[in-house]
Amino acid sequence: MQNKPNEGSVKKRGDCAVLYPGGYLNDIEGEKLEGVCEDLLQKGCRKFVIDFSKAELINSIGISIIIGVIQKVRDKNGAIFLSGLKKVNYDIFNIVGLTRQISVFKNEEEALLWAGGDSGGALM
């Protein structure tokens, strides 16, 4: 079983990038995530999983940034999935309507299975 990488880091699984936002997804953390995603998009990555298993708290600014990230990925004809949401964070995504727009999985492995990525891989 793979060890979970540190919060805020990225892991490559086949052709899929898995991003791990930190404990409090606010404007600061959100912008870091957005920057990493943009960088990966520029390098040609087109499959993303954002795993929220380490995210305790998400605020509305963080949500806004996630929406922006999703839009950017889709603008580049990419695919993006979410995983590992705690109940309250799932509720938040539900309130803003994201759960109707994007696939949400219980954990990273299930999301990667759907995305067609490998179960192995190294930290970026």
Partner 1 sequence: MNSGGLFSTSSDNQFFGRAEIIERLFALPSEKSRLSSAVYLCGKRWAGKTEILRRVHKKLFFEQTAVTPVYYQFKDYPDTAGFAEDFLKEILKQTLAFRRRSPGLAVSPMTLDAIDRLLGAHRSTDGLREFIQRHREAQKTGDQTAAFRNALRAPLSINSNTNMPVFLILDDLDLAHRAVCFEGRPGIKRDLSDALNALPFFIAAGREKGVLDNGIINTAELLPLDGLDEEVSFVLLAELCARNGVEAGAEALTAASRKLEGCPFYMKNFVYSAKKAVSGLLSLNDFARVYADDITDGNTAQALRSYIKLDGLNSFKVLKECADDSAGNKATGAEELAGTLFLSAPEVKQSIKELCALGLVESSLGAVIYTGGGVTADFISYAYGVYAKGLSPGEARAGLINGLLRSGFDTRYSRVRSKLKEEVEGVLRGFDGQKVDKTLLRFSTPLTGLEESAGLGAPPSSKDDKIALPQITGFYGAKSLEESAAGPELIVAEGFDEGRYEDAGSVVWLAAIKDSEAPVTGEDAENFLRRIGILKENFKDKKTVCWVIGREGFTAVARKILDGAGAFTTDGARLNGLKQSLMKDGGEGGLNAGLGGAVSEFEVVIPSSSMAELVAANAADGIAVNMGFDENARGAIKTAVVEACINAFEHGRFKTGRVLARFIAGKDRLVIHVRNGGTDFSAPVLLRQGASAGLLKRRGWGLELMKGLMDEVRFEKLSGGAGIVMTKLLGRKGDASDAKQA
Which residues of the chain form contacts with partner 1 (CB under 8 A)?
24, 26, 28, 56-61, 63-64, 67-68, 70-71, 74, 81, 85-92, 94-99, 101, 103-106, 110, 114
**Please, which residue, 17 or 80, has the CB nearer to partner 1?**
80
Dig out the tokens for 115 from the structure. 């995305």
Q: Which helix (H) or strand (E) holds 53?
A: none
CA atoms within 13 A on the CB side of 115: 32
**Please, which residue, 6 or 94, has the CB nearer to partner 1?**
94
Q: Cβ of residue 62: shortest distance to partner 1, in angstroms?
A: 10
**Please, which residue, 54 or 124, has the CB nearer to partner 1?**
54
Q: Cβ of residue 11: shortest distance to partner 1, in angstroms?
A: 21
Pairing of strands 122-123, 10-13: antiparallel
Q: Cβ of residue 88: shortest distance to partner 1, in angstroms?
A: 3
Dig out the tokens for 36 from the structure. 């990493």
Q: Which residue has the tokens 């996630």?
A: 66
Q: Which residue in 26, 47, 58 sits closest to 103, CA to CA?
A: 47
**Please, which residue, 4 or 86, has the CB nearer to partner 1?**
86
